[in-house]
Structure 1
Amino acid sequence: MGGCVSTSSPSNCSTRSRGEVDSPTCFDVGCCGSKSTMRTFSDHVIGLQHLPSVPNRIFTNGKSSSSCIFTQQGRKGINQDAMIVWEDFMAEDAIFCGVFDGHGPYGHLVARKVRDALPLKLLSSLHSCQLRQNGTGQTCFKGSSKKKLGSGDSEKDVSAEERLTSLWREAFMKSYKAMDKELRSHSNLDCFCSGSTAVSIVKQGSNLFMGYIGDSRAIMGSKDSSGSMAAVQLTIDLKPDLPREAERIKKCKGRVFALQDEPEVCRVWLPFDDAPGLAMARAFGDFCLKEYGVISMPEFSHILLTERDQFIVLASDGVWDVLSNEEVVEIVSSATSRSSAARILVDSAAREWKLKYPTSKMDDCAVVCLFLDGKMDSESDYEEQGFSSATLQSYHSGNAGESDDGGNKSEPSLQRNCTVRSSEESGSFRNGRLRPEESEGSGNMAEGEDQNWSGLEGVTRVNSLIQLPRFSEERPNQ
C-alpha cells in the first residue's frame, strides 16, 4: 500500500444516497492510494521528518483547542514520561491522545519513540483494515455513523456499530504489534531491558476507542443522575498480580512474586535469574521478558459518550500512586481555568508525594486533559496561567535534546524506582468504578471478575527494573 500525506488539505468525502450509512471515499488525512510504491502509509509519514510541525499536534506542556497537557520530572533522573494530543487526527472530529511512561536505562527514548510512531501506525493499520474489510480503493472514517433514514430496522445500524468496533479493535492490535516489532529491530535503541507503558484513546464523534498496556490509566469525569461529578475508570492497571496476567506469565515460565521488603508490589522475573523485576504485565520493549509472558498486546475497549460525560484524564502512574480517581476528577473540574487543569493536577500530585511519601523519590508525572465539549479558555485566560502564544508556538519545534536514535545529549542512566507503600496506606485509597467493555489479549476470564478486582485493588506501582538480568551460559534445567 502506497501513501501520500497532506494533513492540512481538505479531503473529498462522499456519502451514499438513499440515507444509508456513510461510506466515505478518502482517508481524512489526505491519503492517496498508489500502486507504484511499496512504502506504507506510516513509513512515508515518518520519512517526511516534519512530524513535530504537524498542525494541531502538541506533545509538550501546552494546550490545544480542546485539551491541555503537562509533564513534570520527578526525583529519579531524566523525565521518562511522554504525552501527545493530536487533533484532526484523521478527520475534523477525531482526536488522538496518549500517555507513555518509560522505564529502564533507555525508557525515556522508548516512550518518545512510541509517542511519535504509534499514532502513525494506528492510522496505517486502520487504513489497511478498512481496505480489506470493504474491498474498496480509498476510505475515510467519520466521527459518527448516520443511521438509515426512514427505516425501523435497527439490525443494519447495530451491525455497522459492530463493524466499526471490530475495525478499531483490529487496528489497535495491529499497530501495537507493529510498534513492538519496530522497537525490537531498532538499530540505535536498546530495548532489551527498557520499555514503556501506553494508554491511547481516539475520540471520534461520540465514539471513544481505547487501547492500553502497562499501568498508565485513563478515567472520565461524568455527571451522575443528581448532577454531581463522578469518576469513571476507563482502563485497567495491567499489573502482574492480576490473576489472568499472572497465569499467562507463569504458563510462559516467567515468575511472579514480590520482594520481602515490598510485599505489595508484584514483579515479573526471569525463570533462571532474580531479574529484572518488572512491575507490569504488559509493555512495549522489555524483550528480555517477552518469551516469559510480558506482552505488548493491548486491552481494547469502546464506549459511546453521552452529554453527561465532561472530560477525560490520561496520566502516568506517578499521579495515580498518590491521587484517587475521585480526587483527580475533583481537581480537574474545580481548576481555575481549563488550560491550567493538567498543570494543577501535576502540582497536586507533587504535593501529595511530599506529604504521603516524604522519604521516597517522586515519580515523573504526565497528564492529558481532554474536554469533551471541545471548549477551551480564551487566550487571555491562558496567558494568566503562565503560558504565552510564543511559548505555545515553540512547542512544535520539539523538546531540546530529544532523539529517537539514542542521540540524547544527556547520558541515560538506570533509575531504580523505590516507591513503597505500606498495606495500611494502600488500603486507604480507592480507585473509581470501572466501565469496561469486553477486552482482548490474554484469553478468556471469568466475566467481570478480573476487571472489578483490578478496579478496586489500589496496588502500588513500581514500573522500573530492580536490576538488569545477568545471563550465563549455564542455566538450570527447566
Structure 2
Amino acid sequence: MSDSNSATSGTGAPEEPVPLVGSISLIGRRSSMEDEISVWPNLCSPYINKHRPIDFFAVYDGHGGPHVAGLCRSRMYLILLEELMMTRTIISGSTSNNDNISRQRRKQLEWERVKEVWKRVLKSCFERIDEMAFVTCYECGIGVPCGCPPQNYGLGGSTAVLAILTDKTIIVANCGDSRAVLCRGRRAIPLSIDHKPDRPEERARIEACGGHVDFDDCARVLGILATSRAIGDKYLKKYIISEPEFTFTKREAEDECLILASDGLWNVISNEEACQVARECLQKEKPSGRGDVFSSPSRAAAALLTRLAMGRGSEDNISVIVVDLKIDYIEV
C-alpha cells in the first residue's frame, strides 16, 4: 500500500502540494502477481498545462507473465515526461486575436487544440512502450539480448489505464479492461470503457482482420485472450492493438474521488458499489493517532475495496488506486 500527502525536494524543502492517494495491490487467489500500479503525484509542470503541476496514476494488469506490466510501471511515466518535454506546441492560435470570434468560442477552440496535443502525446507513449514490450524476454523480463531463444520475446502483455489530473481536468487513456471511475456526488461515472472482445466495435475490428472471438468462460480473441486491446502480445498483434481510447472530464465541485483498478476488482464489484464504499471511507475524518491502521481515508478505501473483492470471490490479482478529489491538494 502507498499513501502520499506531501512532497519535499532533495534539500527537504516543501515542493508543490500533492493530492492524497491510497493504493494497494494484492496477489489474491492467483499463484503469481502480474499487476502493477504507478502513483506519481506532482509528476511535472509541463508547457501544455501552462506550467502548472499534473499528477499521474496508472494500473497495469499483466498476462502471460509479469514482465510487460513491470515494464509499464518502470518506463511509462518516464516516456510521458520525455514526450511532454518535447511538446512545445503553441496552444493559442491565430484565432485568439480575431475580433469576429467570441471569447467563449476562442476558449473552446483552445481546449480542442489542447486535447489533440494530449492525445498525440499519450498515443506516442503507448506506441513506444508497445515497441519495448516486443523485445522483452518472457523468461528474463529484460529488453536486451540475453541469450534466450527468439521465441521468448514479446510473448507477454498488459492492460494500461492512465489518469492525468490537472487543476481543471481529468484525462484518462485506456487500453484493455482495467478501468477508471469517477465518483461525482452520488453518481458513478465510468471514465473508460473496457476493451472486451465481445464489444460490438471491437469484435467487428477483430473479424475484419481475419480473427474471431470464441465464447467459453468468457469472450476471448482466438479463444486465448480476454481483452481486445493490450500492450505487448506480439503473437496476437494482428488482432490485439495497443491504441488507447481517451476521455477528458472537466473537474467539478461535486467530484469526490477517482478510482482506478484492475479487473480483479471490477469482475465482482460494480462501479456504483465501488463508489459507495469509497465515499463512506472518505467521509470519515483523517486519523492521526499512532494506533491507526490507515493513515488516510483514501488508503482505507483502497484496502476495503480489495478486501470486499476477495470476499466476493475474485480469482484474479486485485489492484486499486483511490484519489481523494474533495480535499484535492494538501497544503504543506
- TM-score if structure 2 supplies the norm length? 0.78
Partner of 2:166: 204
CA contact (8 A) 2:133 2:154 kept: no
Partner of 2:237: 290
Deviations 1:126-183 (Å, cap 9, x if unpaired)? Answer: 333x23x339xxxxxxxxxxx99xx962232122111111110111111100110111
Deviations 1:162-217 (Å, cap 9, x if unpaired)? Answer: 11111101111111001101111235534533111010010011111111111001
Counterpart among 150, 154, 162 of residue 104 in structure 2: 154
Deviation at 1:110, TM superposition (A): 1.3
CA contact (8 A) 1:103 1:194 kept: yes
CA contact (8 A) 1:268 1:279 kept: yes
Q: Which one has a bigger Cα radius of gyration? A: 1
* Letter aligned with residue 250 of structure 1: E
Structure 1 CA distance for aligned equivalents of residues 128 and 310 of structure 2 = 35
Deviation at 1:299, TM superposition (A): 0.6
Q: Does 1:166 align with 2:134?
A: no
Counterpart among 87, 93, 97 of residue 53 in structure 2: 93
Counterpart among 294, 319, 322 of residue 268 in structure 2: 322
Partner of 2:48: none
Structure 1 CA distance for aligned equivalents of residues 33 and 329 of structure 2 = 27
CA contact (8 A) 1:213 1:238 kept: yes
CA contact (8 A) 2:39 2:56 kept: yes
Structure 1 residues 65 and 134, CA gap change in structure 2 (3 angstroms): closer
CA contact (8 A) 2:298 2:323 kept: no
Deviation at 1:371, TM superposition (A): 1.1
Q: Does 1:68 align with 2:32?
A: no
Partner of 1:183: 133
RMSD: 2.7
Partner of 1:439: none
* Letter aligned with residue 82 of structure 1: E
Structure 2 CA distance for aligned equivalents of residues 191 and 374 of structure 1 = 45
Secondary structure in 1 matching 2:44: coil
Deviations 1:348-404 (Å, cap 9, x if unpaired)? Answer: 111111xxxxxxx72110000011134599xxxxxxxxxxxxxxxxxxxxxxxxxxx
CA contact (8 A) 1:67 1:376 kept: no
* Letter aligned with residue 72 of structure 1: L
Partner of 2:82: 124
Structure 1 residues not aligned, in runs of 5+: 1-6, 10-54, 57-63, 136-146, 224-228, 270-274, 354-360, 378-478
* Letter aligned with residue 217 of structure 1: R
CA contact (8 A) 1:172 1:300 kept: no
Counterpart among 326, 333, 356 of residue 279 in structure 2: 333
Partner of 1:305: 251
CA contact (8 A) 1:220 1:233 kept: yes
Q: Does 1:372 align with 2:328?
A: no
- TM-score if structure 1 supplies the norm length? 0.55
Deviation at 1:113, TM superposition (A): 1.0
Written as runs of structure 1 = structure 2, the 5 A alignment for 1:373-388 is 373-374=326-327
Written as runs of structure 1 = structure 2, the 5 A alignment for 1:335-374 is 335=281, 337-353=297-313, 362-374=315-327
CA contact (8 A) 2:228 2:240 kept: yes
Structure 2 CA distance for aligned equivalents of residues 98 and 217 of structure 1 = 10
Secondary structure in 1 matching 2:70: helix
* Letter aligned with residue 347 of structure 1: R
Identity of aligned residues (%): 30
Structure 1 CA distance for aligned equivalents of residues 54 and 312 of structure 2 = 34
Secondary structure in 2 matching 1:278: coil
Structure 2 residues not aligned, in runs of 5+: 1-7, 46-51, 142-151, 285-296
Structure 2 CA distance for aligned equivalents of residues 213 and 83 of structure 1 = 15
Counterpart among 236, 249, 255 of residue 212 in structure 2: 255
Comparing 313-322 and 337-346, the one that deviates more? 337-346
Partner of 1:134: 90
* Letter aligned with residue 116 of structure 1: S
Structure 2 CA distance for aligned equivalents of residues 230 and 301 of structure 1 = 17
Aligned residue pairs, count:
281
CA contact (8 A) 1:95 1:204 kept: yes
Structure 1 residues 159 and 322, CA gap change in structure 2 (3 angstroms): same
CA contact (8 A) 1:339 1:376 kept: no
Structure 1 residues 255 and 66, CA gap change in structure 2 (3 angstroms): same
Structure 2 CA distance for aligned equivalents of residues 286 and 186 of structure 1 = 11
Structure 2 CA distance for aligned equivalents of residues 101 and 365 of structure 1 = 9
CA contact (8 A) 1:93 1:204 kept: yes
Comparing 183-192 and 249-258, the one that deviates more? 183-192
CA contact (8 A) 2:60 2:159 kept: yes
